[in-house]
Amino acid sequence: MSENMSDPSAESPGQSETPRTGYGVIQDYLKTLDSSPGVYRMLDHESRVLYVGKARNLRARVSNYTRPGHTPRIEKMISQTTRMMFLTTRTETEALLLEQNLIKQLKPKYNVLLRDDKSFPNILVGKNHAYPQLKKHRGARKEKGSYFGPFASASAVNRTLNQLQKAFLLRNCSDTMFENRTRPCLQYQIKRCSGPCVGLISHDDYSDSVRDAERFLAGRSTKIQEELGAQMMAASEAMEYERAAALRDRIKALTQVQSAQGINPRGVAEADIIGLHLENGLACVQVFFIRANQNWGNQDFYPRVADDMSAAEVMEAFIGQFYDNKDVPRQLILSDDIENADLMAAALGDKAGRKVEILIPQRGEKTELVASAVRNARESLARRMAESATQAKLLRGIADAFGLEGPPNRIEVYDNSHIQGTNAVGGMIVMGPEGFMKNAYRKFNIKDGETIAGDDFGMMKAVLNRRFSRLLKEDPDRQKGMWPDLLLIDGGAGQVSAVAEIMEEHGVQDIPMIGVAKGVDRDHGKEEFYRPGENAFALQRNDPVLYFIQRMRDEAHRFAIGTHRAKRAKSLVANPLDEIPGVGARRKKALLTHFGSAKAVSRANLSDLKAVDGVSDALAETIYNYFQVR
């Protein structure tokens, strides 16, 4: 792979400083290109990437941009292009993978862009313990065990886990809790665990239950239910009615898992069903996850598209970006064909290390599955368009209520949380035209000594100072969409004055800010609003804009409270030994074993510390000095 960053369009000294753009610039690059496969980038006069594309033949592909006859979108992109960059690759497959990776990193203006890039949860049957644990797992598969997934959402996993615990009675407690039990917990009492922690089930019987759970998750559910049915009948005939009733409940739980899954195709063992619907320059992609002949949920996505983009273009971009960091199933069953299906299948197959098929079915069960995905995509997009219309109306209402120049595209709402000044945190939530932008939420840990304990004004100043110091550093020209159009502060005149002071220090005085105070008797609905240098005012109690502001303020409060509680919980279990240089896990364990607790270590004299196995004289002095100066 090689990169060409030459700029044949650069002007010689003495020429106008206005950069050349358009067809002429692109034409100049043809002199330096050959027929190699690769990826090209088109940049504007501020070096922002406008578009990323791939090519089997770079020279032939780029030459297409030198001839008129493009769509208005492409014409505009060409007119803004002042420079191009090229990366040649060995194969077109490499170019395809590189293209999608660059699109996700650079987020070019004229590409299809998948904005939702979250991971999906799995079910893990852990194998690090003699009695394996059944639990939800998200992230890298580093823990030893059997993984089943992906599931479309946490709720889909929780629903399945709930029924699996009823069916197979596997534990979901942590290893530490398991080792310290002396009697069965509530899970055993409500018949969701077989009580292996206190020996109420043999190791062999528990292992059989684990094997049955894995078989069920692998798609062999019919055989398991047949075996359980035979065992239930045998227990009934032997007049073991309690055992028969327990087996009946397990069969019922398995049936509920299958019924909750809805679609359970017979002829599709492992596939993602991908349906696309385009309407009014918007797109919705619906993905159904089929694993082990079972539907493990569906999820909708809303990639950024333009009016003139074809279904094939959107579908290909979605697949390339979606599977960039996710496991690829054996089959992708699509509603719309893509231009480079063979190339995409080869690229995904290389990534997965096995064959991947891309299918566009014409008849049979697969066609019905695709039709269901498309129907869901169409309905989801209709709901989203209705919600967006309502959101746009509320943002216009915000602009009218507070005298803004136009509807804000980014509202940042700030709140603080603490208990008598301890574990203080600040929270920032963001609202935009499409609702809460949760990937833009930020938390601010307010360190001891940074403010006076309990000083709400000081904490708000600390949070805003940190926020705008970083903004000025990361996006000084306000080109990346990171700057707010409106600040909402949880508080009254004092908080607003504190924020205004910080903004003035940073030279940022063109962003309007509003303080939201509870008002008379702190009653929900009597909020008062404060602006710098102006009298407080209120909105009508039945004004939709007021409800909208309350919803944002409550979300900021929820986020700040949740962050504070997490910090407080962490501080409760924090061990001072973790902060001492040179004390790792092994030496910490030796110290706690020798003295019994961290408090006892802090009170130990130097000679006692030196007597601990694995603690050198120098480390003993470090530990002793650490606690002496606290």
CATH number at residue 558: 3.30.420.340
Domain count, the chain: 5
d(CA 148, CA 214): 9
Asked whether residue 546 is assigned to any structural domain, the reply reads: yes
CATH number at residue 605: 1.10.150.20
pLDDT at 524: 60
Residue 173 tokens read as 């407690």
For residues 524 and 433, membership in a common domain is answered with yes
For residues 82 and 143, membership in a common domain is answered with no
pLDDT at 221: 61
For residues 138 and 252, membership in a common domain is answered with yes
Average per-residue pLDDT for the chain? 85
pLDDT at 191: 85
Helix/strand/coil percent split, the chain, to 5: 45, 20, 35
pLDDT at 514: 93
pLDDT at 411: 96
Asked whether residue 419 is assigned to any structural domain, the reply reads: yes
pLDDT at 13: 40
Please identify, among 261, 280, 306, the residue that sits at the C-terminal boundary of a domain. Answer: 261
Asked whether residue 403 is assigned to any structural domain, the reply reads: no
Asked whether residue 230 is assigned to any structural domain, the reply reads: yes
For residues 555 and 434, membership in a common domain is answered with yes
Asked whether residue 513 is assigned to any structural domain, the reply reads: yes
d(CA 106, CA 91): 22
d(CA 459, CA 448): 11
For residues 428 and 548, membership in a common domain is answered with yes
pLDDT digits (tens, 9 = 90+) for 500-558: 999 999 998 899 999 998 766 555 667 889 998 888 888 888 889 999 999 999 999 99
Determine phi and psi for 285, rounding to 5 degrees.
-115, 125
For residues 11 and 61, membership in a common domain is answered with yes
d(CA 426, CA 423): 10
pLDDT at 11: 43
The CA distances from residue 349 to 90, 93, 97, 341, in Å, are 17, 10, 12, 12
Q: Is the peptide bond before 544 cis (omega within 30 degrees of 0)?
A: no
Please identify, among 106, 132, 162, the residue that sits at the C-terminal boundary of a domain. Answer: 106
Please identify, among 212, 235, 261, the residue that sits at the C-terminal boundary of a domain. Answer: 261
For tokens 């209709």, name the residue: 382
Sign of the dihedral defined by the CA atoms of residues 120, 124, 128, 133, in that order: positive
- The string of DSSP letters for 52-110 reads EEEESSHHHHHHGGGSS---HHHHHHHHH--EEEEEE-SSHHHHHHHHHHHHHHH--TT
Asked whether residue 198 is assigned to any structural domain, the reply reads: yes
CATH number at residue 86: 3.40.1440.10
For residues 561 and 446, membership in a common domain is answered with yes
pLDDT at 402: 92
d(CA 301, CA 412): 24
CATH number at residue 344: 3.30.420
pLDDT at 522: 54
Determine phi and psi for 150, rounding to 5 degrees.
-85, 155
Asked whether residue 400 is assigned to any structural domain, the reply reads: no
For residues 298 and 240, membership in a common domain is answered with no
0.95 exceeded by pTM: no
For residues 552 and 581, membership in a common domain is answered with no
- The string of DSSP letters for 194-254 reads --GGGTSS-HHHHHHHHHHHHHHHTT-HHHHHHHHHHHHHHHHHTT-HHHHHHHHHHHHHH
For residues 418 and 536, membership in a common domain is answered with yes
d(CA 100, CA 302): 17
Q: What is the chain's alpha carbon radius of gyration, rounded to the nearest angstrom? A: 31
Residue 591 tokens read as 């110290």
Asked whether residue 116 is assigned to any structural domain, the reply reads: no
pLDDT digits (tens, 9 = 90+) for 27-41: 999 988 999 999 999
Point out the residues of the chain with pLDDT beneath 70.
Answer: 1-19, 116-117, 221-223, 253, 256-264, 419-422, 448-454, 519-525, 570-574, 629-630
For residues 370 and 274, membership in a common domain is answered with yes
Note down the domain range covering 251: 122-261
Which residue, among 129, 37, 124, 130, has the nearest Cα to 86 in the 3D structure? Answer: 37
For residues 583 and 532, membership in a common domain is answered with no
Calculate the CA dihedral of residues 392, 396, 398, 399 and round it to 10 degrees.
Answer: 140
pLDDT at 15: 44
